[in-house]
Amino acid sequence: MKKLFGVSALVFGMALGLAGCDKFDKLTASTPTFQNTDVTGLQYARDFALFDHTGKERTLADFKGKVVLVFFGFTQCPDVCPSTMAELSGVLKELGPLADQVQVLFITLDPERDTRELLAQYVPAFDKRFLGLYGDAAATARVAKEFKVFYAKVPGKEAGSYSVDHTAGSYVFDKNGMVRLFVRHGQGAAPIVHDLRALLN
């Protein structure tokens, strides 16, 4: 699968562009030093309206009081998605008791195949605390647009088969529901653990 990391530079540039705003100055006055891309004050990636794999309607407000990590992918992804989910499982193990204050959300970019039932099997297999989120094609497109996540079907070798190229990265929100970080794929667990500890403490 193509790994698309350009969005990290984009969101970083947006964060820098907001440096003159009073709101941004207040937010960053006490910001710890992060190892991932600090996007505090970003004016997109603000919310979503989807269903979780238990059938419950969800928005970001449902997780207020927790640090939330949002990753976009699809269950039939052969590499980036399972490796990211496994990495995030390891992150929660490293956090120990603090992990109870973290919520990992997997948002599918393949609503055609990723049913509630399939997400209910796939997502908790990495960690029972993880939640899979889904919507119809229109809801998926709206959320992807809000988060500036690229995704596109790529035809497979067999008739009717396909894969999905997509942005390989995650967003992190603080306990107040404010987007704070963009985590690039493939950095390993240590920088994520470091940054989540900073937000939790």
Q: What is the pLDDT of residues 111-125, one digit of tens each?
A: 999 999 999 999 999
Residue 37 within any structural domain of the chain: no
Q: Which residues of 108-122 are buried (b: 16+ CB within 10 A; e: fewer)?
A: bbbbeebeeebbbeb
pLDDT tops 50 at residue 5: no
Q: What angle do CA 66, 31, 99 make, to 5 degrees?
A: 25
The structure tokens listed for 2 are 């193509």
Using CA atoms, how far apart are residues 134 and 63, in angstroms rounded to an integer?
16
Q: What is the CATH number of the domain that holds 162?
A: 3.40.30.10
The structure tokens listed for 191 are 């920088």
Do 131 and 105 form a contact (C-beta atoms < 8 A)? yes
Instruction: Return the closest-CA partner of residue 170 out of 87, 96, 93.
Output: 87
Residue 104 within any structural domain of the chain: yes
Task: Provide the 3-class DSSP secondary structure of residue 137.
Answer: helix
Is the four-CA dihedral 195, 201, 101, 180 of positive or negative sign? negative
Residue 181 within any structural domain of the chain: yes
Structural domain range at position 75: 51-200
Residue 23 within any structural domain of the chain: no
Number of folded domains that form the chain = 1
- Residue 21, annotated ligand binder? no
Residue 10 within any structural domain of the chain: no
Using CA atoms, how far apart are residues 201 and 191, in angstroms rounded to an integer?
15
Residue 155 within any structural domain of the chain: yes
pLDDT per residue as tens digits for the range 67-109: 999 999 999 999 999 999 999 999 999 999 999 999 999 999 9
Predicted pLDDT at 30: 59
Do 95 and 66 form a contact (C-beta atoms < 8 A)? no
pLDDT per residue as tens digits for the range 152-178: 999 989 988 999 999 999 999 999 999
pLDDT tops 60 at residue 127: yes
Residue 4 within any structural domain of the chain: no
- Residue 77, annotated ligand binder? yes
To which residue do tokens 């238990």 refer? 54
Residue 3 within any structural domain of the chain: no
Predicted pLDDT at 160: 86
Task: Provide the 3-class DSSP secondary structure of residue 49.
Answer: strand
- Residue 194, annotated ligand binder? no
